[in-house]
């Protein structure tokens, strides 16, 4: 029975006296987030077809499977209530450079808004209007932390205090430097493909299948919090080493007994 691997806390960057950390979203914590998100979708957006897509909790692996733009926004909201968030685009790229994002699954990290054209023109028009009011040049790259859902379930807007936005020339350069596949119009998904390529051109905002994953979260930690997390990880490693050593000793002991008896 395959379980999500516990690979510990990753320190992404210092933020003055705090640090940005990332860790797996798995096990009971993932189950609680899944149940909360599923419940909200059924309560607040029960007539919206964008949520009639794959989104499940895999008991064997202990992870949330399935992902699209709409599910991602709801998951991020649920994590916000716990003091966390889904990784921003830059945080996700850093995790990838550290070798923490496995292949054979895809992960969503937000949206690219190129202009008010197709695909997803209704969504794109609203986001372009809001971007212009805020003085952002197109294109705009927006992580889930910067997005929210309106009550219709299909209308996406920027939050009151959007974080992690990359726009204009900086966004164009970021796309050129980091994404293998890119769009040039409308509103599209920012994802890491199952083969490891980064894609800013996926047009199906509500597409979701079982090899999608929501399995990492980010947050801020003080130095004291970080030390506690690291010590916890070290303790886990130490216990594993001790267990392995004891197993080898027991195996050697049993082999010696067998030899003496023989």
Written as one string, the DSSP assignment of 147-208 is EEE-TTSS-EEE-SS--S-EEHHHHHHHHHHH-SEE--SSEEEEEE-TTS-EEEEE--TT--
C-alpha–C-alpha distance, residues 26 and 64, integer Å: 8
Q: How far apart are the first and last CA of the chain?
A: 37
Tokens 């994802």 found at = 191
How far apart are the C-alpha atoms of 162 and 231, rounded to whole Å? 33
The three-state secondary structure class of 162 is: coil
Structural domain boundaries in the chain: 10-222
Residue 47 CB neighbours (<10 A): 8
Token match 């969504």: residue? 123
Give the three-class secondary structure for 94: helix
| pLDDT tops 80 at residue 3 | no
pTM over 0.85: no
- The predicted-structure confidence for 143-169, as pLDDT tens digits, reads as follows 999 999 998 778 999 999 899 999 999
Phi, psi of 129 (to 5 degrees): -60, -45
Alpha carbon 50 to chain centroid distance? 19
Q: Is 146 exposed, middle or buried (0-12, 13-18, 19+ CB in 10 A)?
A: buried
- H or E segment to which residue 112 belongs: strand 107-113
Give the pLDDT of residue 159.
94
Q: What percent of the chain has pLDDT over 70?
A: 82
**Digit-coded pLDDT (tens) for 211-230:** 999 999 999 876 565 556 55
């Amino acid at each position: 029975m395959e379980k999500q691997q516990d690979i510990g806390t990753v320190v992404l960057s210092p933020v003055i006296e705090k640090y940005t950390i990332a860790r797996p979203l798995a096990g009971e914590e993932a189950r609680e987030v899944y149940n909360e998100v599923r419940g909200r979708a059924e309560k607040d957006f029960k007539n919206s077809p964008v949520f009639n897509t794959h989104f499940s909790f895999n008991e064997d692996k202990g992870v949330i499977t399935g992902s699209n733009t709409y599910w991602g926004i709801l998951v991020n909201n649920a994590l916000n209530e716990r003091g966390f968030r889904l990784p921003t685009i830059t945080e996700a790229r850093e995790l990838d450079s550290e070798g923490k994002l496995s292949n054979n699954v895809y992960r969503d990290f937000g949206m690219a808004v190129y202009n008010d054209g197709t695909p997803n023109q209704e969504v794109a028009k609203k986001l372009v209007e809001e971007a212009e009011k805020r003085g952002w040049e197109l294109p705009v790259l927006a992580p889930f932390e910067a997005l929210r859902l309106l009550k219709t379930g299909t209308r996406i807007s920027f939050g009151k205090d959007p974080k992690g936005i990359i726009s204009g020339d900086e966004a164009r350069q970021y796309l050129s430097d980091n994404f293998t596949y890119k769009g040039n119009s409308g509103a599209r998904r920012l994802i890491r493909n199952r083969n490891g390529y980064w894609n800013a051109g996926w047009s199906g905002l509500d597409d979701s299948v079982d090899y999608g994953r929501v399995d990492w979260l980010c947050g801020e930690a003080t130095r004291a919090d970080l030390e506690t997390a690291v010590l916890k990880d070290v303790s886990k490693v130490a216990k594993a080493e001790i267990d392995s050593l004891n197993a080898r000793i027991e195996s050697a002991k049993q082999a010696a007994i067998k030899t003496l008896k023989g």
